[in-house]
Chains A and B, each alone.
Chain A
Amino acid sequence: MTDSQDKDFTDEDLYDDEFEDTQKDKYLTFDIGKSVYGIEIYYVIEIVGIQKITEVPDMPDFVKGVINLRGQVIPVMDVRIRFRMKQREYDDRTCVIVVRNDDTTIGLLVDTVKDVLDIPENDVSPPPKVSEGNSRRFIKGIGKSNDEVKILLDLNKLLFDETLDSLPNSSQS
């Protein structure tokens, strides 16, 4: 029952204006390598520890496979590899951030989860024109919080951009 309740809960979130307002400008931040990244809290369903991943063949390297989230089978993506960074051994700090965008529920493998930050819109600047690494195309903006820089990600691009465009979006789930 738990996971359907979870779903209901997020559904309500989607339609409850008041709730949306309290979620506005809130970001969940996490570490990958030396940088701190953030995604809008609105998409986040839950955070779970690393668990056994079943590999799925024919997937791009950053799709590590599927996990069993209390009876629901969801794919997981290693964000490091998505950014073309070197794979790192998973340890007890490794987290899976379960996010949902439209009908896709997916787990994001990150080095570690930090906290939830409030970054108002005027503290967010557009992504730099030139930036090192492959993560640039997933960046929505650069947020400033307490003089620290957080890289805010565009979840939609992170999930579906280019390399995955060839994936047929069949409605099997």
Chain B
Amino acid sequence: MDFGQDILDEFVIESREHFEHIEDEILELSRQKESPDRELVDKIFRSIHSVKGAAGFLGLDQIGRLTHVMETLLSMVRSDKMKPETYFINSLLAGVDILNIMLEDVDQSNEVDISSVYDRLNDLLKGADYREVRNDLKTDICLENPDEWEAGLKINRLALKNLPSAHRFLYILKYDLLELSKTLGKSPVLLIRELLDIGEIVDSKIEVCSRDLSEGLPEGPLKYFVLYSTSLTPDIIKSALQVSENDIIPIDKEKLLDTDAGSLNINSVIMPSVLPEQAVSEPHPSPIPKDRDQQETAPAGDASHSEIAPSVLPKQAASERHRSSVPKDRHQQKAAPAGAASQSEERHDIRVDLEKVDLLINLVGELVIAESMVTNNPDLAGLELENFEHSAQNLRRITSDLQDVAMSMRMIPLSKTFRKTVRLVYDLSNKVGKKCKVELIGEETEVDKTVIEHITDPMLHIIRNCVDHGIESPEERKAAGKPQSGVITIEAKHEGGEVLIRISDDGRGLNRENILEKAMRVGMLKGNKDYCSDQDIFRLIFEPGFSTAGKITDVSGRGVGLDVVKRNLEKLKGRTDVRSVPGKGTSMILRIPLTLAIIDGMVVRVGTASYTIPMLSIRESFRPDFAQITAPMDEQEVVKVRDKLISVVRLHKLYNIVPRHTELHKGILINVTSGNRSVCLFADEIIGHHQTVIKGMPSYVASARGISGCTIMDNGDVSLILDVGSIIDMSERDI
């Protein structure tokens, strides 16, 4: 029974999932300083609570401690004892950060120094006016049952009150973990997850000497007791959790609330069996129960009054409703809607090793090639094969569907990357003393996983620039007649075979003159500056070593930055573009192919070699007339396409091949573009058009210029993929 490490791994993965959303939720909360959304707080609370539960179970004390204090803080917001002020938010975020660090190496997490963050959170707790909370916290009720367990299950009034209002039932559940994993194959983590799906674990207890389950389970029955809060009736819970009736002890919540601190024999609070009819017949209330309304509007200070005079105005009594035990109030609380999570549509997914997915995609790629080699086999040429054609058609359809499915497995939404930016902007704007909001559009846009990995850094870089250089200080903005808080809009959408990400700010815009001056000074730009278009000038900011920031700040301005963006994008065969209007703001546009794994390309032949040119970069192909071609003195041939003069790159010269044609009008010209630049590639002829899996060049031959990879064609030959961007670079260098 070796699942020690498995349990830990699962814990880490799950906690990560919780924290992934927590950060956004906390940031969302920071925008609701005055009236925090109860459901949001509940959500954060539940996430932290789940982690805390599991951490305690696994003996991860430090994580347990930290989550505990965070949880307590949140419960104070929940009961309106505290407002989510900036300091509060920042402290929580600091907590999440350090928890993330601990999760990185969960084995060592107990050695991590959490004192500074812990103290900070604790101080918040101390500083707060939480007399009532403190009183509630002190009311530790210890549920005793000497026959069954030694130490009691603990619950305090605060926890009791903070249970989601939909949770009408409190149970003690008994499990034998050993039995569970033997007969049902259910690991403790699985059990906990199940429990957390439909309710909350208030407290739990294992009758065993060591609590560290990562050492594996000891022999003999392993009793696990859970104080469990849920909205399910005893009937349902029996089947839902597969627990026998004897192992469920319903607890009377009201009686518990009336009890003072101290030990309590469990028998005194066992609920007389609940009639199922009663549960069903209860009317379903409006989505927002009345008492919650009251609670939200109740001034925070009032709560302490009601402590002294328990039955005054209903408004003041709102936050006291659990204790006042007025039946009507209770009724409302019971009937509150179930948690939002249970209503949202369920998504079924499994975790799969990325390597396996990649292997599958590779194999499907092979299959596509093999399929085409079979169905287009030269041996079949000229044969009338009706049945074969029919089957081949079928095979082709299935392979192509299979390919689509396989490719879609690698596609993940951009939302995770987008959410990172929210936190970044929050942190940065605090640091530089600016006010910024982030607006996200189209975060559900799906992109290949590799693409996401590569664009995260460039995106964060651009956003850093937006906050540091783009958005003005609140004073400046006021003077310019803009709202004090700047807006950074991040937008993603599919456009053709590409995904387009636009990051715009409503800041001061790029300063054409500054960029020009700087470019002239460092010698990036020569010649007459009057000839440069705005586009050309703005593109300079993507060059290495370019930074116009007056001073180097903590955030950006070391002159490394946008060139990294450009380089990263080029790796992805993506393009960058920049638009800017002085005083109105700047937009950075990133265009990236949807996937790096498949290429839609045109195959051209030069002599005996064949090359694949990505379709995305081809504008047109044509056989030129004599009249279109000009060869000036410096021998750089140019061809006139409509009104434009475009230089010609002879592939045979570039790659030292003996071509079939050397005269331009006998071969074919393919007009290709990269960004705003464009050249015409000269080849012998176009062989065809195909769509296949891109393969990287073997590292041994990766130094070939202007080649970005290779692909296997229908006939099994290897074709090299031309990298249009770097071919244009090469040709420009030659001039």
- A residues whose Cβ falls under 8 Å from a Cβ of B: 1, 4, 52, 54-59, 63, 65-68, 70-71, 73-75, 103-106, 159, 164, 166-173
Contacts and interface: CB of A to CB of B under 8 A. Distances in A.
Given A67-B718, A73-B710, A172-B696, A58 B609 contact: no
Contacts of A105: 698
A173 B719 CA distance: 16
A54 B609 contact: yes
Interface stretch (B112-120, B238-246, B359-367): B359-367
Given A52-B717, A58-B703, A58-B705, A71 B698 contact: no
Contacts of A63: 700-701
Nearest to A2: B366
B611 to A, nearest CB: 10
B718 A170 contact: no
Contact of B363 (A1, A57, A75): A1
A56 B720 contact: yes
Given A56-B704, A57-B655, A66 B363 contact: no
B366 A71 contact: yes
B700 A75 contact: yes
Interface string B343-376: 0000000000000000100110110010000000
B719 A54 contact: yes
Interface of B: 359, 362-363, 365-366, 369, 608-610, 654-657, 695-707, 709-710, 712, 716-720
A171 to B, nearest CB: 6
Contacts of B706: 57
A57 B699 CA distance: 14
Contacts, number: 95
B721 to A, nearest CB: 11
A66 B609 CA distance: 12
Main SS class of interface, B: mixed
Contacts of A106: 698, 700
Contacts of A168: 702-703
A167 B624 CA distance: 38
A164 to B, nearest CB: 8
A75 B710 CA distance: 12
B649 to A, nearest CB: 13
A71 B712 contact: yes
B368 to A, nearest CB: 11
A54 B701 contact: no
B98 to A, nearest CB: 34
Give 7 nearest A-B pairs by CB, closest first: A172-B696, A57-B655, A54-B718, A71-B366, A75-B700, A75-B701, A173-B698
Contacts of A171: 699
B696 A173 contact: yes
A84 to B, nearest CB: 20
A57 B359 contact: no
Nearest to B366: A71
Contacts of B695: 73
Contacts of A167: 700, 702-703
Nearest to A1: B363
A57 B654 contact: yes
- Which of A56, A65, A66, A159 has the largest count of B CB atoms less than 10 A from its CB? A56
